[in-house]
Amino acid sequence: MINIQSIKAYSDNYIWLITTNEGNLVIDPGESQPVINYLQKHTLTLTDILITHHHFDHVGGVLDLKKNILGNVTGPLNHQIEGLDNHVTHGMEIESCGLKFEVIEIPGHTLDHIAYFLNDSDQPRLFCGDTLFSGGCGRVFEGTHDQMYESLEKLQKLPSNTLVYSAHEYTLANLEFAGQVEQDNQDISEYIHLCQQKIKDGLPTLPSSLEIEHRINPFMRCADSHLRQAIAENMKNSKTATDAEIFSYLREWKDSF
């Protein structure tokens, strides 16, 4: 049995809590108190913590939560992150609460950014921090556009039914931009209505899936001829540009949107 619950933190962060018969783990606890409150309410004990990158809104609760943890704190190869017991790099496999996660290095947003891929053949799941959002991608703070593009390409290659657990509720804002990029993309219009209803009902818009993102996320559609045609008026070489150049153009556009 596996149950995945979102715990809200700050204004729009999601801390993902994964519960199995063998324990409970959280991913990117930027705050400790929301996690403590949830664990106490449901009489759960925290086993492990997984970290995707060093930004404070993803690690701020680690030291407090670690006081009562049963297991370990695992994160990227960045010794400036306080409280880490295990440092992991690309291709490594870690076990927690009876689950096996593959580590995927995805620099761009930060240089130390990693994702955790739970490769269950029936329902694969991706915990990707601030690299891939529904309808968008993270800002490029420490890396380069090329690095971010290559990181998204790694994620593109995962099974299309992979559920995507991003770390922020940015979906509607991202879809507003996506709708500007591809104004005749009906999938985007329909997904906006679906997500608006979820928000109205007090539900997260996440998880998404790679299948959905391939249809509505401009940053995952850089090779798509319809997207290239849609931006042809503004990007004169859109039909002949490389996919990485399309990505860079879109990311710069989004930065000022």
Does a structural domain hold residue 99? no
Does a structural domain hold residue 100? no
d(CA 59, CA 42): 23
The last residue of a domain, from among 93, 119, 149: 93
Helix axes 171-181, 186-200, angle to 10 degrees: 160
- Which pair of structure tokens corresponds to residue 17? 């809590």
Residue 57 appears among annotated catalytic residues: yes
Instruction: Identify whether residues 55 and 139 lie together within a single domain.
Output: no
Domain count, the chain: 2
Q: Max CA-CA distance within the chain?
A: 59
Q: Given the residues 28, 48, 55, 112, select the one marked as catalytic.
A: 55
Q: What is the CATH number of the domain that holds 83?
A: 3.60.15.10
Residue 58 appears among annotated catalytic residues: yes
Q: Given the residues 48, 109, 112, 113, select the one marked as catalytic.
A: 109
Q: Given the residues 28, 48, 57, 112, select the one marked as catalytic.
A: 57
Note the pLDDT of residue 1.
87
Q: Are 179 and 188 in contact (CB under 8 A)?
A: yes
Q: Which domain holds residue 155?
A: 106-257
The last residue of a domain, from among 46, 65, 93: 93
Note the pLDDT of residue 175.
98
Instruction: Identify whether residues 63 and 157 lie together within a single domain.
Output: no
Residue 168 appears among annotated catalytic residues: yes
Residue 109 appears among annotated catalytic residues: yes
Note the pLDDT of residue 120.
82
Residue 53 appears among annotated catalytic residues: yes
d(CA 79, CA 101): 21
Instruction: Identify whether residues 181 and 70 lie together within a single domain.
Output: no
Task: Output the tens digit of pLDDT for each of the chain's 257 residues.
Answer: 899 999 999 999 999 999 999 999 999 999 999 999 999 999 999 999 999 999 999 999 999 999 999 999 999 999 999 999 999 999 999 999 999 999 999 999 999 999 999 998 789 999 999 999 999 999 999 999 999 999 999 999 999 999 999 999 999 999 999 999 999 999 999 999 999 999 999 999 999 999 999 999 999 999 999 999 999 999 999 999 999 999 999 999 999 99
pTM: 0.97
Please identify which residue in the block is written with the tokens 């995962």.
Answer: 158
Does a structural domain hold residue 98? no
The last residue of a domain, from among 93, 119, 150: 93
Instruction: Identify whether residues 72 and 141 lie together within a single domain.
Output: no
Note the pLDDT of residue 215.
98
Instruction: Identify whether residues 125 and 206 lie together within a single domain.
Output: yes
d(CA 96, CA 18): 10
Instruction: Identify whether residues 7 and 30 lie together within a single domain.
Output: yes
Instruction: Identify whether residues 153 and 200 lie together within a single domain.
Output: yes
Does a structural domain hold residue 81? yes
Instruction: Identify whether residues 121 and 228 lie together within a single domain.
Output: yes
Q: Given the residues 53, 54, 112, 113, select the one marked as catalytic.
A: 53
Q: Given the residues 48, 54, 112, 168, select the one marked as catalytic.
A: 168
Instruction: Identify whether residues 163 and 59 lie together within a single domain.
Output: no
Instruction: Identify whether residues 192 and 117 lie together within a single domain.
Output: yes
Note the pLDDT of residue 121.
74
Does a structural domain hold residue 122? yes
Does a structural domain hold residue 101? no
Instruction: Identify whether residues 115 and 87 lie together within a single domain.
Output: no
Q: Given the residues 28, 54, 58, 112, select the one marked as catalytic.
A: 58
Q: Write phi, then psi, for 52 (nearest 5 degrees).
A: -95, -30
Does a structural domain hold residue 110? yes
Does a structural domain hold residue 51? yes
Residue 55 appears among annotated catalytic residues: yes
Q: Which residues pair with 117 in a beta bridge?
A: 102, 126
Q: Given the residues 28, 48, 112, 130, select the one marked as catalytic.
A: 130
Instruction: Identify whether residues 116 and 222 lie together within a single domain.
Output: yes
